[in-house]
Amino acid sequence: MNELQIKDLRVEVEGKEILKGVSLDVSKGEVVALMGPNGAGKSSLGYALLGHPGYKVTKGQIMFKGEDITKLPTNERARKGLFLSFQYPSEVPGVSTANFLRTAMNSRRDKKNPIAVAEFIKQLKETMKMLKIDESFMHRYINEGFSGGEKKRAEILQMAMLKPEMAILDETDSGLDVDSLKVVADGINKLATPETGILLITHYQRILNYVKPNRVYVMIDGRVATSGGPELAHQIESQGYESIKVLPNDEVFA
């Protein structure tokens, strides 16, 4: 069964239609890449999937684990196992990474069974070691004073601790140098388990040199133009988005 299924999704922002009938799906255990030029609607799709209030769904459905979540608020979608990392993570002064993560984890647990502090710290340290993140991160305020690479690694840390069933990663490679890109890609690969689906939104092919997608979708002008295997990303790298032929939906998903 497709864990995440998007059906003919149309979305407006301030009265302007941004998504013009997007359909795609992601299953457990898959890494699906979503590529497209700037302004294609990739990030807008991520925001719409998590229920950003500024993104109004005018038509279509978002199905998650067989349930229609199109009208659910963001917190309910997150509790059900959806996760979104941001292209430009915000700073949250005064809130440590550790306190934020423990609160977020407890929000997905039974209120009568919060995670014990000792167990949480143990999990956090083990996860930071796996992702090659310095333990000092846990005491630092969320993203405050972080470099671009540190912010993206902190997002992957959140994903690792929260263990979502579906992760939407919005341009995780944006602004990273080669070394940081490799570290972030290694973290994604370690978290790409049979129990987790990943929708990897990216503008460039370069992260796909390190994270191998099962499928590639290409968005152009607010809709999915075509789909294919990893070779599609290489075509874009060598020939640009101008080489993409926009297909009708029934051919994209044939």
Rounded (5°) CA angle 31-89-104: 75
pTM summary value: 0.90
Kindly state the tokens that stand for 51. 């229920």
Domains and CATH numbers, the chain: 2-90+164-252 (3.40.50.300)
Is the pLDDT reported for residue 250 higher than 60? no
User: CA nearest 156: which of 177, 121, 182?
Assistant: 182
Q: How many helices (H) and strands (E) does the chain have?
A: 8, 12
Kindly state the tokens that stand for 25. 């799906």
97 band by pLDDT with thresholds 50, 70 and 90: very high
Is the pLDDT reported for residue 200 higher than 60? yes
Reduced to 3 states, what is the DSSP secondary structure of residue 11? strand
Kindly state the tokens that stand for 182. 């490799």
**pLDDT digit string (tens) for 5-34?**
999 999 999 999 999 999 999 999 999 999
215-220 β-sheet, strand order: 82-85, 166-170, 197-202, 31-35, 215-220, 223-228
**pLDDT digit string (tens) for 228-248?**
999 999 899 888 888 887 766
